[in-house]
Structure 1
């Protein structure tokens, strides 16, 4: 295990950040707990350059500002693996996202290593090291942390700092670095992590397009979001999604009716939180037509022919992704394939840039009848490739 520092005071953190300022890149990871809270509780930050490694303890008497500034304000490239939750934590603390950012899980898709390669598999592939998973389920909020736990946590960034240059060289050799730009920008879009209560209803699965029911769902989801934030509890600990959807579709006439709602305690018929829930129902207004998203409007179902074309596009995507040595998910999503099969052409990423070259051009040719599949000597072949 490479040497590293455990940082528990602000002066030491400032000194660490000065040492890291000239680094070519920073490998960053976090350990957190979120099972019983609305906001993830940050318990440890691991950071490494090619020469320096450290674990920073946010639960100590420490001001994280120097570290957060280094992550969100500096031009140094930040390297993470499956960075979504780490970026969320940084955003919650700063209202900014790390940039520039390199996510090794996304990069692995461009290098043909599957759609969601684990960090352990990535380390084994590039470094030939089998990671010790013994501390994976550690309660990171308990203090003191054992050396074994810290070694495990810091290894995540020291190994990342070792394998990143190899991945980068592979991307350069294959000329695929630019393939990642759009996905990295999407990953760091602040809108992904900004959750205004008024938009919370979009995360709840709801069948139907009734404007009044959707309006109640919007009001109820906003109410639940505020309750969860105020109490710092997971949304589901307030009211589960399925109960929220049921209330939106079949609202009780008065608070006493909450006693008969599956998923709620009978005490809600008389307590304060039940009263606040009923206010949310009573204050709801029908959702305006322009607010109803495509899925709630009932995205037009694919007809028999379009459904067959979508299936053929999925087959073509498998063929082309295998040939290109890139994960199919990085090229196109099932929703985009269905939109293409349905006749849409605007705002489809698979018809732009490198995706068009790898797959989109042939996908259009297939949809327009210029390309077809054939089986020759037991192997799948393409016929009628466009000029």
Structure 2
């Protein structure tokens, strides 16, 4: 494989993208920093196919990333391959308002191949290529320039290794017939709505016990204010106000700005500074949350009860057995909250009762709940057996 030098100019990048646009797939990875900022700072982009690989410096003066971003978001003929690509996809979305498509995530594919719930990249490389990755540059400051050879070699290895692993995984998926299982998952992670950050919905990330419309209305206003402050200052949300402080302010709103100096989690300066004034203005503008926005009460869900909890435990046992039988990560078949909902009587809007999940697990899960499936021990091993219809 030909490894290019660090690409720092628009013409070289455009030529590379022209060649890659004719390939069936490209492998993509990024290096970024976000510990001290709201927006992830894109520091390096690595890309490869089966013949060439390069690292691109998005911080290079005057470089035009348009050909690369178009390749990722506009070219439907090229499959984009990531490993645990959520944050990489988020970065592309922040730059373009679009997500890479079509895409393939090797971490999710590994779940369908029975290689664990969330296999790490280094373990994936070791499993498929027998290579131990040098992690020495893992926690480097990617924003510093110039980047040295060790940093660039480390970064490019992420895509050169994955470009060899992807065809092997694809062949395994074809042999097992599980490629179709992943289509829904890949479309889900490619959905731009997953990466859209609406300040009016930021309150949903904050844990609060109250369901009072007035309290949640204040929380919504405060969370929106914090989101806009964090975006404008390019600081992590917690650097503005921590979640627990935000919840406390919503539950026990100060009557005047001077009271902010006594709020745990805020400095005394908030009693008289501009940011404190903006917080108080957000509180003053808060209105009770509309009933249509209020989160559903837990008691509106089907009650689980003691017997239901036992049924949920049996479903979890069934899930373990079935996942082991077909050699797939259990989390790809069903989540714990789905099992509890099924045990409590819910039958709609459960992914495990649809499509391939129903065929592989949901049908038996439903049969167990309805008394048509049981467990027996044969030869020291737990087995599932069909029972007579209880009706």
TM-score (normalizing by structure 1): 0.97
Q: Indicate the residue corresponding to 1:59 in structure 2.
A: 59
Q: Indicate the residue corresponding to 1:259 in structure 2.
A: 261
Determine whether 1:106 maps to 2:108.
Answer: yes
Partners of 2:98 and 2:28 in 1: how far apart?
16
Q: Indicate the residue corresponding to 1:330 in structure 2.
A: 332
Trace 1:334-373 onto structure 2 (pairs within 5 A).
334-373=336-375
Q: Which stretch shifts more, 292-301 or 84-93? A: 292-301
User: Runs of 5+ in structure 1 lacking a partner?
Assistant: none
Deviation at 1:385, TM superposition (A): 5.8
Deviation at 1:71, TM superposition (A): 0.7
Trace 1:230-245 onto structure 2 (pairs within 5 A).
230-245=232-247
Would the alpha carbon gap of residues 386 and 252 (structure 1) be closer, same or farther in structure 2, given more than 3 Å must change?
Answer: farther
Deviation at 1:333, TM superposition (A): 1.0
Would the alpha carbon gap of residues 65 and 237 (structure 1) be closer, same or farther in structure 2, given more than 3 Å must change?
Answer: same
Q: Indicate the residue corresponding to 2:27 in structure 1.
A: 27
User: Does the 8 Å contact 1:2/1:158 carry over to 2?
Assistant: no
Would the alpha carbon gap of residues 385 and 114 (structure 1) be closer, same or farther in structure 2, given more than 3 Å must change?
Answer: farther
Partners of 1:234 and 1:338 in 2: how far apart?
35
Measured against aligned partners, the alpha-carbon deviations of 1:225-246 in whole angstroms (never above 9, x if no partner) come to: 0000000000000001111111
Which SS does the other structure have where 2:26 is aligned?
Answer: strand
Determine whether 1:290 maps to 2:292.
Answer: yes
Partners of 1:298 and 1:159 in 2: how far apart?
49
Measured against aligned partners, the alpha-carbon deviations of 1:343-371 in whole angstroms (never above 9, x if no partner) come to: 11111110011111111000000111111
Partners of 1:106 and 1:53 in 2: how far apart?
23
User: Does the 8 Å contact 2:371/2:387 carry over to 1?
Assistant: no
Partners of 1:56 and 1:184 in 2: how far apart?
26
Partners of 2:303 and 2:135 in 1: how far apart?
45
Measured against aligned partners, the alpha-carbon deviations of 1:308-357 in whole angstroms (never above 9, x if no partner) come to: 11111111111111111000111111111111111111111100111111
Aligned pair partner of 1:117 in 112, 116, 119: 119
Determine whether 1:213 maps to 2:210.
Answer: no
Partners of 1:236 and 1:295 in 2: how far apart?
28
Q: How many residues align?
A: 387
Q: Indicate the residue corresponding to 2:70 in structure 1.
A: 69
Question: C-alpha root-mean-square deviation of aligned residues, in Å?
Answer: 1.5
Measured against aligned partners, the alpha-carbon deviations of 1:275-294 in whole angstroms (never above 9, x if no partner) come to: 11111112111111111123
Aligned pair partner of 2:384 in 371, 382, 385: 382
Q: Indicate the residue corresponding to 1:36 in structure 2.
A: 36
User: Runs of 5+ in structure 2 lacking a partner?
Assistant: none
Partners of 2:297 and 2:171 in 1: how far apart?
41
Measured against aligned partners, the alpha-carbon deviations of 1:89-126 in whole angstroms (never above 9, x if no partner) come to: 00000000000000000000000000100000001111
Would the alpha carbon gap of residues 275 and 296 (structure 1) be closer, same or farther in structure 2, given more than 3 Å must change?
Answer: farther
Deviation at 1:301, TM superposition (A): 4.8
User: Does the 8 Å contact 2:26/2:47 carry over to 1?
Assistant: yes
Q: Which stretch shifts more, 25-34 or 377-386? A: 377-386
TM-score (normalizing by structure 2): 0.96
Deviation at 1:206, TM superposition (A): 1.4
